[in-house]
Amino acid sequence: MVINMKTNQCQVYVTGSLFSLILFGFMLLGIGYSPDTMAVPQISELKLNNAINRAGLQRMLTQRMLKSYAQLGQDQFYIEPDKKLQDAVTRYEQGLDFLKDFEQVPGVKDSLQEINSMWPLYKSMILGEPTRAKVPELVKINEKLLSLSHQIVLKLENFSGKELGKVVNVSGRQRMLSQRIELFYLLRNWGFTEPFYLDELAKARKQFTEGLEYLNNYQGNTPEIKALLDKAGKSYRLFEHSLDKNGNAFLVSLTVRQLLKFMNDATNLYSKLQK
């Protein structure tokens, strides 16, 4: 009886000591002992840069949707804005599905959930009859969608921790800025001349110029990327003065199409670089 009790006590002591050692080991490794602790799976740099590229495309699509809406509202049908609007909506939804595969990256899931909560209302409004009266509310929601889409890009870039991740982000942002410049140009053309609208146009122009400078200074540029950046710079400088006056919507649209193509091609090349 006494022997059995001592044996049990000994077993309890050994078991408890073993558990303490294991727990101490977890603490030393920085893992922590918690049932909620989950390790984030490894993602290759190439796959992550592709995700940054695709998440960045979401930013551009937010601006393209509202830009197309503004063109429809002003009866500018020369570039089929109705088709481009529907295409942008479809691609944006496809992007949301694509990004679900990266919800394990800290913060991405929360941003996606917030976007999804806003999306049904925005989609119904943007695909509805275009009227000037709805623009302020659409702009308000659009700015939030842009911000959330941008946050996803930043979270993926931070998770990457590599310079190339930032380069893909900045190059992809140039696509968005090309559409944003045209969007706020069209809104000014439509009579929205409050400080917010004018300031955002000026800010987008400044950011586009700064983005080109940053990319041109990147040491990893290939000859093909350098050529695309050079074309983008020349194209932008040629039409920049057109943004100072209303009534140049057709010229602005043609030039922005070129800018978007150059920057989209450059971003795709950046996302495939092996460092």
Q: Per-residue pLDDT tens for 203-254?
A: 999 999 999 999 999 999 999 999 999 999 999 998 898 899 998 999 999 9
Question: What is d(CA 125, CA 118) in angstroms, rounded to the nearest whole number?
Answer: 11
How many other CB atoms are found less than 10 A from the CB of residue 46?
14
Determine whether 241 is exposed, middle or buried from the number of CB atoms within 10 Å of its CB (0-12, 13-18, 19+).
exposed
Give the per-residue pLDDT at 26: 40
Amino acid (1-letter code) at residue 50:
N
**Distance separating alpha carbons of residues 168 and 57, to the nearest angstrom:** 11
What confidence tens digit (pLDDT) does each residue in 107-161 have?
999 999 999 999 999 999 999 999 999 999 999 999 999 999 999 999 999 999 9
Place of tokens 């930043």: 154
Q: How far apart are CA 261 and CA 275, in angstroms?
A: 25
**What digits encode the pLDDT tens for the residues 46-101?**
999 999 999 999 999 999 999 999 999 999 988 899 999 999 999 999 999 999 99
**What does the alpha-carbon distance between residue 170 and residue 197 come to, in Å, rounded to a whole number?**
23
Confidence of residue 275 (pLDDT cuts 50, 70, 90): low
User: In one letter, which amino acid is 142?
Assistant: N
What is the rounded CA–CA span in Å between residue 84 and residue 233? 25
Query: Terminus-to-terminus CA distance in the chain, angstroms?
Result: 70
Tokens coding 81: 């804005």
> Mean pLDDT score of the chain, rounded to an integer?
88
- Report how far residue 95's alpha carbon sits from residue 195's, in angstroms, rounded to the nearest whole number: 32
The owner of tokens 């987008």 is 204
Give the pLDDT score at 43.
86
- Give the model's pLDDT for residue 211: 98
